[in-house]
């Protein structure tokens, strides 16, 4: 059982009269995660993830893996270090490489601490080429750390120098089947973002340094976002302003979809990106397959990224208040926090009998690993409840004096949305059961479509 007294959660303690000098602009999520002890700053642009936040990261990884499996993905692991020789072959070491971390081994060979793995995975396929067309399409993905020497690392996990990413690389026989793969993986992305229940927009995007012929970005709308998006309040259309201005050769004054003039500019945090790459990497690196005629032919590629740690921070940025975290239901570290009576209170003994029974009943409904028992009874209920609300548990159940009153005993149940209810035991357990059922529905894909919230494609 998870006990709050054993949880390593090194919250920042600021003395009452201390004057805090703000040296950088903090985002809402960064401030809360740091203050509450879920994330600690390491060196500049790097972060240490504490146990409670790690639970959220692990849940997101599980959700991503489930959706990648449904899209036909096979999980692999590639080395963090990639030879610079591979990047020279594809031309990606030409131009500005200031964001790349370079290291040398003792023999003088130079490596990249990989910001992405197109070259590495393509070289791996080339080393086993030619493969048969019967083995295609091939969809390989990994989840691991990536590195970029950001000029301005800021907003905590949203723009860090080291971050966790899911990257999938697909290989097909031609553009037609690669386009079908693109549709399949994109559908898995759509499903994932609907499961998270955070309003998002999907927009046409520039291919940039990655290259290729087709690209889409997934964004959470937030004032701290670095991308400028145009959004139509009439039809829900959204587009990356950079791409729209490039295609129209001017800033649009009306919606490209419905022609309404109800266009507004919003900021977006990019949390995922998809690319159709063609043979940009396979051709120079010699990754081929044997076609139906038995002749070698270049593989046609796609790549698909999801920022794992960035989604956590960006989702919290969108959902939380200035003082309290609010998690996507599938990513909350715990589903339920149970707070018992204060030690030495007159209701302690009879309330503890109810508390102990609830520990078993709630654990059966939501899973014992999803229940956090705040057993720090030396603290008042009010202090523990304040902390529970700030941590954003979806449900916090309090067994206090009202639970042992002679007539109509009640539990206090606090929801992360801010509502507070007084319920009897059966009603409280029903609420836990409904929350757990909602999570199961999300995992099974039974969710309302976000048609009015998801941006149309340009």
**For residue 416, what is the domain's CATH number?**
3.40.50.800
On whether residue 250 sits in a domain, the answer given is yes
Contact 236, 203 (CB under 8 A): no
253 and 95 Cβ atoms separated by less than 8 Å: no
Q: Give the pLDDT confidence score for residue 453 in this predicted structure.
A: 41
Distance CA 331, CA 338 (A): 19
Examine the domain organization and report whether 95 and 238 are in the same domain: yes
In a domain, 458, yes or no: no
Domain span at residue 283?
A: 51-319
The pLDDT value recorded for residue 16 is 65
Q: Are residues 214 and 340 in the same domain?
A: no
Residue 336 CA to residue 411 CA, distance in Å, equals: 14
DSSP code at position 208: G
pLDDT, tens only, 135-158 = 999 999 999 999 999 877 778 888
Burial of 93 (0-12, 13-18, 19+ CB in 10 A): middle
The CB density around residue 48, as the number of other CB atoms within 10 Å, is: 11
Pairing of strands 336-339, 371-374: parallel
Rounded to 5°, angle at Cα 78 from 73 and 84: 130
Which among 231, 448, 236, 200 has a CA at the least distance from the CA of 317? 200
Asked if residues 80 and 37 have their Cβ atoms less than 8 Å apart, the reply is: no
* Cα 336 from Cα 412, distance rounded (Å): 13
Which residue, among 26, 28, 52, has the nearest Cα to 39 in the 3D structure? 52
314 and 395 co-located in one domain: no
The string of pLDDT tens digits covering residues 357-385 is 999 999 999 999 999 999 999 999 999 99
120, 204: one domain: yes
- Residue 66 located in a structural domain: yes
302: domain CATH number is 3.30.930.10
pLDDT at 452: 37
Bridge partners (DSSP) of residue 411 are 423
Whether residues 346 and 297 share a domain: the answer is: no
Task: Verify that 341 and 315 share a domain, yes or no.
Answer: no
Structure tokens at 40: 């600690």
Phi and psi, residue 235, nearest 5°: -115, -5
Instruction: Give all strands (DSSP E) within 253-356, no chain letters.
Output: 263-278, 288-290, 296-298, 300-307, 336-339
Query: How many separate domains does the chain show?
Result: 2
Produce one character per residue of 206-224: b if its CB has 16 or more CB atoms within 10 Å, e if not.
ebeebbbebbbbbbbbbeb
Q: What six digits make up the tokens of 402?
A: 């009202």
Q: In terms of Cα–Cα distance, which of 252, 254, 205 is closest to 234?
A: 254
> Which segments in the chain show pLDDT lower than 70?
14-25, 206-213, 447-458
Domain final residue, candidates 319, 347, 382: 319
Q: Is 310 helix (H, G, I), strand (E, B) or coil?
A: helix
Residue 9 belongs to a domain: no
Residue 452's DSSP bridge partners are none
pLDDT for position 448? 57
Say if residue 72 is in the same domain as residue 187. yes
438 and 307 together in one domain: no
Final residue before a domain boundary, out of 285, 319, 353: 319
Last residue of a domain, one of 250, 284, 319: 319
- Residue 10 located in a structural domain: no
Beta bridge partners of 302: 170, 276
Look up residue 137 and give its DSSP letter: S
Same domain, 183 and 296: yes
Within this chain, do residues 141 and 226 fall inside the same structural domain, yes or no? yes
b/e code 149-175 from CB counts within 10 Å (16+ = b): eeeebbbbbbbbbbbbbbbbbbbbbee
Q: Is 33 a member of any domain?
A: no
**Residue 339: strand pairing partners:** 374, 398
Q: Which residues pair with 139 in a beta bridge?
A: 170
Would residue 409 count as lying in a domain? yes
- Same domain as 347, residue 307: no
Among residues 108, 3, 85, the alpha carbon closest in space to that of 52 is found at 3
Rounded Cα distance, 178 and 162, in Å: 31
Structure tokens at 231: 């959004």
pLDDT at position 124: 96
User: Does 286 lie in the same domain as 341?
Assistant: no
Q: Report yes or no on 308 lying in a domain.
A: yes
């Amino acid at each position: 059982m998870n006990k709050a007294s054993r949880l390593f959660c090194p919250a920042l303690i600021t003395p009452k009269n201390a004057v805090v000098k703000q040296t950088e602009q903090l985002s809402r999520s960064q401030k809360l995660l740091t203050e509450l002890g879920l994330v600690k700053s390491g060196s500049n642009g790097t972060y240490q993830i504490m146990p409670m936040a790690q639970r959220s990261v692990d849940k997101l990884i599980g959700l991503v893996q489930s959706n990648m499996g449904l899209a036909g993905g096979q999980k692999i692991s590639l080395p963090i270090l990639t030879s610079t020789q591979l990047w020279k072959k594809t031309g990606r070491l030409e131009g500005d490489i200031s964001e790349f971390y370079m290291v040398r081994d003792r023999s003088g060979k130079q490596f990249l601490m990989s910001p992405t793995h197109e070259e590495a995975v393509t070289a791996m396929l080339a080393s086993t080429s030619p493969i048969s067309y019967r083995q295609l399409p091939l969809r390989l993905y990994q989840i691991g750390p990536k590195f970029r020497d950001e000029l301005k690392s800021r907003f905590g996990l949203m723009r860090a120098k080291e971050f966790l990413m899911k990257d999938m690389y697909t290989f097909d026989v031609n553009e037609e089947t690669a386009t079908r793969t693109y549709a399949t993986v994109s559908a898995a992305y759509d499903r994932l973002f609907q499961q998270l229940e955070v309003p998002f927009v999907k927009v046409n995007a520039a291919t940039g340094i990655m290259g290729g012929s087709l690209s889409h970005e997934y964004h959470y709308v937030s004032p701290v976002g670095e991308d400028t998006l145009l959004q139509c309040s009439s039809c829900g259309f959204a587009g990356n302003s950079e791409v729209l201005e490039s295609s129209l050769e001017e800033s649009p004054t009306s919606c490209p979809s419905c022609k309404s003039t109800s266009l507004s500019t919003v900021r977006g945090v990019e949390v995922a990106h998809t690319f159709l790459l063609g043979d940009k990497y396979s051709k120079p690196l010699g990754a081929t397959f044997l076609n139906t005629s038995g002749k070698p032919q270049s593989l046609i590629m796609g790549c698909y990224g999801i920022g794992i740690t960035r989604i956590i921070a960006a989702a919290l940025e969108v959902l939380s208040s200035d003082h309290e975290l609010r998690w996507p239901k599938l990513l909350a570290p715990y589903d339920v926090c149970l707070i018992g009576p204060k030690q030495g209170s007159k209701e302690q003994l009879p309330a503890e009998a109810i508390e102990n029974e609830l520990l078993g009943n709630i654990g059966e409904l939501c899973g014992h690993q999803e229940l956090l028992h705040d057993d720090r009874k030396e603290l008042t209920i009010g202090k523990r409840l304040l902390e529970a609300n700030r941590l954003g548990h979806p449900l916090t159940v309090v067994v206090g004096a009202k639970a042992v009153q002679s007539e109509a005993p009640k539990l206090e149940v606090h929801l992360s949305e801010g509502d507070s209810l007084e319920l009897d035991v059966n009603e409280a357990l029903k609420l836990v059961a409904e929350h757990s059922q909602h999570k199961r529905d999300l995992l099974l894909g039974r969710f309302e479509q976000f048609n009015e919230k998801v941006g149309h494609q340009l």
